[in-house]
Amino acid sequence: MSELTYAGKRFRFSVDNGVVFHNTYAADGTGLHGESVAGAMEGSSEDVRMHAAEVTPGVFLVGWTEKSGMTVTHAMNLNTHTVHAFWTYETPDGRVPELHTGTLEEM
């Protein structure tokens, strides 16, 4: 795997649904500390272990599972400062998938 250029950095991730995260990536690129600072999840935070792969230079596919069972996958493009995010979570009516887009700003 080539250099994980997001590793050791902190980004503001603004999602199309109004949620804003401050995501801090571990220096080795395999951990994430995420804090929700705006929107429906404001005030929540979590540390997760991630799996990552570089798709093309500056474009990374990263994924993890949260304590709640929510699965998250980001196609993170550091060239255009955009993210396509896909997550799933359980509801009383079954598992729900959501696809979102957002922007990244290095902090």
Average pLDDT score over residue span 46-72:
95
Domain ranges of the chain: 10-106
- For the entire predicted model, the pTM comes to 0.89
Average pLDDT value over all residues in the chain: 94
The residue among 46, 102, 106 whose CA lies nearest residue 70 is 46
Beta strands in the chain (DSSP E): 10-15, 20-25, 31-38, 45-49, 51-56, 59-65, 71-77, 82-91, 94-106
Per DSSP, what are the bridge partners of residue 26?
none
Assigned fold of 10-106: Lipocalin (2.40.128)
Q: Which residues of 85-99 are buried (b: 16+ CB within 10 A; e: fewer)?
A: bebeeeeeeeeeeee
Here the tokens at position 96 are 């729900």
3-state secondary structure at position 67: coil
Per DSSP, what are the bridge partners of residue 61?
53, 75
pLDDT, tens digit, 9 for 90 and up, residues 41-54: 888 999 999 999 99
3-state secondary structure at position 78: coil
- Local structure of residue 107 (DSSP, 8 states): -
Q: What pLDDT was estimated at residue 1?
A: 47
